[in-house]
Amino acid sequence: MQTALAPPSHKPTHFRRAQLIVAGSLIGLFLVVRFILFEHLPEKYFIDSGRLSDLVQSGNFDENSTGITAFLLSLVPEAFWPFVNTAIAVAIALWATISSKSYKALALVILVYPPMMVLTLLVPSKETIVVLFALGVLCTSKRLSGISLIAAIMILYGWYGATVRSYYLLIAAVFVFLVALRRLAPGLRVLCVTAFFGMLLLVPGDIFYALQGTRDTTNLAASYVMASDNRTAFFNPYAADTATGFLANYVYAALLLNMPFIKFVSLSELVLFVNILLYGSVMVAGLRSRSTQTRLLSTLFASHILVLWLFEPDLGSYFRHFSSAFPYLIPALAELSSNALPNTSDDVNPA
């Protein structure tokens, strides 16, 4: 008996329509803010961009990260800068919404995109280069996996750290340590972490100060040289030249940066705290993913966070810096649609 062929199955279009609506809304929001409401935004969001513009016009590209960033931006005519930022903002909005596989993920993108847009996407800044760099790493991860992806990340971070921002070399080192740690048995993990803290006792005080003292010097320069009134700036509570002082400062900074209500209370701190929770939820989902690529990129994001706790001088800088690493969490957005479990099928790949 011949059975009637079942009609071709059509995937529900409601979610795809929701993706398009969210992507279009976020892009529209960016265009309105950037090209209509731009003049009404607080000047504090554009200090870095103004400094870069001055350097480009003067042709004075010094050797620090700001000067190198200005040189990179000078390769594009200044009249085209707004369109470069627009292209980046559109790319992130589209990529994030397309990668979302649930309404929960779409809701998260809606919440995290506006602050990220204001802090990192509206105008050319050092974070413009960082976001472009992160998008480049994300594109690379689409073609590579496992050892190949780890090697590519090390090469890219080695180049960027050697030429633009030296602390990216430290991020790369933390990334390799975390990847290696994940591959070890629980007992060996404890042994390695214990050995790491033991080795800190042998580190010269000058290295501790070089890693952590920049928080104090940055805030002192801002308060005395530039007469800046940064409400959320904070200093190390202990001298950053001993192992105990270094660890105490690190724990203090981690607590204050992630739980800002300890010291600061305002709407800005509420927005920061909500974003920390949202980013953290995506990162954890990514770390538990079955996908090697997703796990590695989420580990890379975690490496950024661990390094930022070393020297971030204020809450705004912290928010801006971890927002610029958001592209690494885009693959993990798909994990919010299901209860992702630790990988069991591709454990031969380091992640």
> In tens digits, what is the pLDDT along the chain, a chain of 351 residues?
444 444 444 456 889 999 999 999 999 999 999 999 988 888 777 777 777 877 788 777 776 777 788 888 888 888 888 899 999 999 999 999 999 999 999 999 999 999 999 999 998 888 888 999 999 999 999 888 889 999 999 999 999 998 888 899 999 999 999 999 988 888 888 898 889 888 888 888 889 898 888 898 888 877 765 555 678 899 999 988 889 999 999 999 999 999 999 999 899 999 999 999 999 999 999 999 999 999 999 999 999 999 999 999 999 999 999 999 999 999 999 888 644 334 433 443 445
Is 158 within 8 Å of 175 (Cβ atoms)?
no
Q: Is 349 left (phi over 0), alpha (psi -120 to 50) or beta?
A: beta
Range of the domain at 66: 15-337
Does 144 reside within a domain?
A: yes
Is 185 a domain residue? yes
Looking at residue 148, what is its pLDDT?
Answer: 93
CA–CA gap between residue 299 and residue 325 (Å, rounded): 12
- Which 3 state secondary structure label does DSSP give 199? helix
What pLDDT is attached to residue 351?
A: 56
Task: Give the Cα separation of 295 and 332 in Å (integer).
Answer: 8
Q: Are 193 and 179 in contact (CB under 8 A)?
A: no
Q: Tell me whether residue 342 is in a domain.
A: no
Report if residue 68 sits inside a domain.
Answer: yes
pLDDT for res 177: 94
The DSSP output letter for 333 is G
- Report if residue 2 sits inside a domain: no
Give Cα separations from 290 to 285, 295, 349 (angstroms). Answer: 10, 8, 11
Number of domains in the chain: 1
Q: How many helices (H) and strands (E) does the chain have?
A: 15, 0
Q: Do the Cβ atoms of 81 and 48 come closer than 8 Å? A: no
Query: Residue 133's closest CA among 327, 312, 298?
Result: 327
Cα 190 to Cα 185, 194, 243, 317, distances in angstroms: 9, 6, 20, 33
Helix (H, G, I), strand (E, B), or coil: what is residue 102? coil
What's residue 108's pLDDT? 95
In a domain, 261, yes or no: yes
CB atoms within 10 A of CB 325: 25
Q: Is residue 196 within a helix (H) or strand (E), and if so which, with residue range? A: helix 186-200
Q: What pLDDT is stored for residue 342 in this prediction?
A: 41
Residue 238 CA: distances (Å) to CA of 212, 261, 316: 11, 21, 22
Q: Is the pTM of this model over 0.75?
A: yes
HSE-up of residue 329 (Cα within 13 Å, Cβ side) = 27
Nearest by Cα to 301 from 188, 192, 179: 179
Tell me what pLDDT residue 47 has.
Answer: 75
Residue 10 lies in a domain: no
Residue 7 lies in a domain: no
